[in-house]
């Protein structure tokens, strides 16, 4: 129980798996959650174990806030500590629709998974982290919210997604302001265009835009790019910076003439 432990939501695929790999390489044991049956993620757990990590898979829908405490109990029962929470799990709208055509059902689904779930999970984990810090079982806790450049870049065909990520940005600031004096740092990581299952459907569009100079670095981001940023924050390398935003977007949002 001397190794640091990270809980990574949505950690079995995409950006979440990139994060889990980097955390494993930085000496973390890992609890990852998802919706798939445990047998379907065993290969992922074996890969992370080969990197030296102790692993635990927790089948959890982050939108099911009533299940949060049991999931945290599972992590603590397995590892005895939680040093870092990485709120990565998220969804895009099932159908990209103009904001004037957005349905209440789509809005509620995206907000429940992308904002309400992570915020309330952070609250629950923070309370346990405060106990662990007070008991001297961890030096400092860290909460890292994976949002998106869509927190500030408007996409009228994904309004509910943009609004959810803007909410994550404010949740990060609120939690950082509340928890800094009690031993918990809170950060936001904003990925840009990243190659995952979520972006596969629009790959042709972004291949063209990237080639035309949409990003300063003319390539897609990778889950590993995001993972390296999260691992740095979770490891405590960056200090005196709680509440800050780390944008990993290849220069997409950098003002240019």
Residues catalogued as catalytic: 161
Contact 55, 32 (CB under 8 A): yes
Question: Which of these, 69, 41, 67, 68, lies nearest to 55 by C-alpha position?
Answer: 41
Contact 152, 210 (CB under 8 A): no
A 10 A CB-CB count for 257 gives 2
Contact 204, 210 (CB under 8 A): no
Q: What's the rounded Cα separation, in Å, for the pair 148 and 193?
A: 9
Q: What's the rounded Cα separation, in Å, for the pair 246 and 147?
A: 10
Q: Rounding to the nearest 10 degrees, give the CA dihedral for residues 120, 124, 125, 128.
A: 170
φ, ψ (nearest 5 deg) of residue 239: -120, 165
Query: 59: Cβ–Cβ under 8 A, 6 or more apart, which residues?
Result: 33, 34, 35, 36, 37, 38
Contact 132, 82 (CB under 8 A): yes
Give me the sign of the Cα torsion angle 96, 101, 105, 108: positive
- Cα 141 from chain centroid? 16
């Amino acid at each position: 129980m001397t190794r640091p432990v990270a809980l990574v939501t949505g950690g079995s695929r995409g950006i979440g798996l990139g994060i889990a790999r980097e955390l494993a390489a930085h000496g973390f044991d890992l609890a990852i959650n998802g919706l798939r049956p445990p047998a379907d993620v065993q290969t992922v757990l074996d890969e992370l174990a080969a990197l030296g990590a102790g692993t635990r898979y927790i089948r959890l829908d982050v939108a099911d806030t009533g299940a949060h405490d049991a999931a945290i109990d599972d992590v603590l029962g397995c590892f005895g500590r939680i040093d870092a929470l990485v709120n990565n799990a998220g969804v895009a709208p099932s159908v990209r629709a103009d904001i004037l055509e957005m349905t209440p059902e789509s809005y509620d689904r995206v907000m429940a998974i992308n904002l309400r779930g992570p915020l309330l999970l952070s609250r629950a984990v923070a309370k346990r982290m405060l106990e662990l810090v007070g008991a001297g079982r961890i030096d400092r806790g860290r909460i890292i919210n994976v949002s998106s450049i869509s927190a500030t870049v408007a996409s009228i065909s994904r309004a509910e997604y943009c609004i959810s990520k803007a909410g994550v940005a404010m949740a990060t600031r609120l939690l950082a302001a509340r928890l800094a004096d009690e031993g918990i740092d809170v950060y936001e990581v904003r990925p840009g265009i990243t190659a995952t299952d979520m972006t596969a459907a629009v790959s042709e569009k972004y291949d063209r835009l990237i080639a035309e100079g949409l990003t300063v670095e003319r390539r897609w981001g990778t889950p590993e790019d995001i993972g390296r940023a999260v691992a740095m924050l979770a490891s405590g390398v960056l200090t005196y910076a709680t509440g800050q935003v780390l944008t990993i977007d290849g220069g997409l949002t950098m003002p240019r003439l």
